[in-house]
Structures are given as C-alpha cells and as structure tokens.
Structure 1
Amino acid sequence: MDQDVVARPGVERLPVSGWDALFRSATGFGVSVALVAFVTLVWHDAVDLALPSILMSSVGWLHESKDRRHKVAAVVSGGLSAVVAVGAVILLGGGPPDFSRDVACAALGVLAGSQIYAAITRRQ
C-alpha cells in the first residue's frame, strides 16, 4: 500500500474551540428537535426515540474529519452526552418518556459533549 494514502501527510488537523463545538452541536440539536417534534406529531410512539436521536444528531453535526483526533473526540463526546442526559433523566424522576423532559436532558448532554469534544481536539 502506498504510504501517501495511509499517512496523508498533507492533511492538517485543526483544534476546535469551545464556541465552535457548541455552535456545531447546538445546530444539530435544533435541527434534530424540530425533526423529532414533527415526527411525533404524526407518530406519537416516536417520543420514545427522542432522546437518543437528538444526542446522535448533535454528535453527528459536531464531528468533522478535519479536526484533530476527531474519531476519539466523537466517541468520547457521544458517550459523555449519553451519560449526562440519562443521569439528568434519572435525577428528574425517570418515568415514561416525556418530550419536553427529554429535550431538556438532551440539551445538558449536548452541552457537556460539545465541550469535551473541544477539549480533546485542543489537547497537545
């Protein structure tokens, strides 16, 4: 295999600031909330999938291949987002899925995930 293809020496990996990471994940959060809200109007059982779909969408919008250590940062930020969101759901009393509670808990998870993504990409 050619060394140029494997190493890609011409690709410069860039760190991401906290504001940029927050903007990316907030954009994904907003788009996903709007999409899930529309789907739940048509199919009410989709509220069960609101929390995971919002979190996955925000991490998807956050991740860019030009970022430094983007794969590790995406996995860690997704995991932390899930832990924070599920922890917030448990602290708020659990129970059956509620759209507004899931959106609020996902917002906390997205905030934490975006900042850990930025911290990992900025690490030397």
Structure 2
Amino acid sequence: MDGQDIEHKRRLQAAHRERLQVLELQEARYGMACPPHIIIEIESLKEKIYTIEQEIEHRCNISSSAFDLAEGREMFQSEVRKLIRQELQQELKDIMGNLNVLSQFAIAERGNTMAQRAEFFEI
C-alpha cells in the first residue's frame, strides 16, 4: 500500500464516518422504534471504519519499521566501513614499516658491498 492507497483509505474512512453520523442521528430520532436496517448499517459502518483504521495503522507501522531497518542498515554499513578503513590503515602502516626496514637493509648491504669492493681494490 503506497501513499495514494493510504489517502484513498482515509477518504473512504471519512465518507463512512459521515454516513455513520447521519445514521446515528436517525437512530437517536427514532429511539426505541428505530428500524433494524439502520442499527445493522450503523454496526456495519463501525466495523468498516475500524478495519480501515487497522489497515492504515498497520501500513504506517510497516513504513516506520522499514525506515528503522534502513536506518539501522546504514549505521551498520557505516560501522563496517569504519572498521575496514582502520584495518587497511593498520596494514598500510605495517607494510610501510616493512619497506622502511627493507630499504635500510638494502642501504646497509649496498654499503657493505661497496666497502668490500674498496677493500678488494686496495689490496
């Protein structure tokens, strides 16, 4: 049921209420001599109005529940993205640390190699 359906149900409910008010006035005027068809129609309209109220309320509850679920899903996704970002940042720090160690090792090895070459040529 979309917004148009809900609006239609509300207009239908208003029309039923108008008819109910007219019939209740007739019942009040007749008093104990009220014809049965008026009493039956009053009960029928009350039932219809109640049913429509329940349908509208149910639909509005579903809409708010769907909204709550969507909002919860968005919050969950946001938290997941945040955790992934934190993990990636930590991984990047670890990789950068490893690269730094490797580059220092390479520089040291290069220095050792050059020193060994210098020793070789000095001899």
TM-score by length of 1: 0.30
Specify the structure having the higher radius of gyration (Cα): 2
Q: Which of the pair is proportionally richer in helix?
A: 2
When the two structures are superposed, what TM-score results if normalisation uses the length of structure 2? 0.30
